[in-house]
Amino acid sequence: MPNPVLHFEIIGGSSKQLQDFYSSLFDWKIDSNNEYNYGMVDTASGAGIAGGIAADMDGHGSRVTVYAQVPDVQASLNKAEQLGGKVLLPPTPIGQMTIAMFSDPAGNTMGLMHA
């Protein structure tokens, strides 16, 4: 499948409150032992995709975002803009990967990822 979804995020409110909620609801293991208190989700099922749960740190508000893998983050952002989307987060390196975010014409937040 071209451009598969690799990651999800649940953002908003209190990191601990959201992490505790989803951990209790779905029995997810969530490791937030990092400088951002970003809860890395391990569903421990061997199926599905990994994710993260955290407070809103960028001022974009509460949201659920999925991240598609793309070969060129900037080219994909350019195409999203040509199709009526709006860049929310320009290409940003995080460790070994680069991420970006945009909103679609309906205002939904979508992420891009290249590793």
Domain residues for 32?
A: 8-66
CA atoms of 115 and 107, how far apart (whole Å): 26
Same domain assignment for residues 75 and 62: no
Total number of domains constituting the chain: 2
Same domain assignment for residues 54 and 91: no
Burial of 103 (0-12, 13-18, 19+ CB in 10 A): middle
In a domain, 1, yes or no: no
Same domain assignment for residues 15 and 44: yes
The pTM of the full predicted model, rounded to 2 decimals, is 0.84
Q: Which of 111, 6, 110 is nearest to 48 (CA)?
A: 6
Same domain assignment for residues 58 and 14: yes
pLDDT tens, position by position, 4-38:
888 999 999 889 999 999 999 888 899 999 988 89
pLDDT tens, position by position, 31-81:
999 988 899 998 766 677 889 999 988 787 899 999 999 999 999 999 999
Q: What is the CATH number of the domain that holds 50?
A: 3.10.180.10
In a domain, 19, yes or no: yes
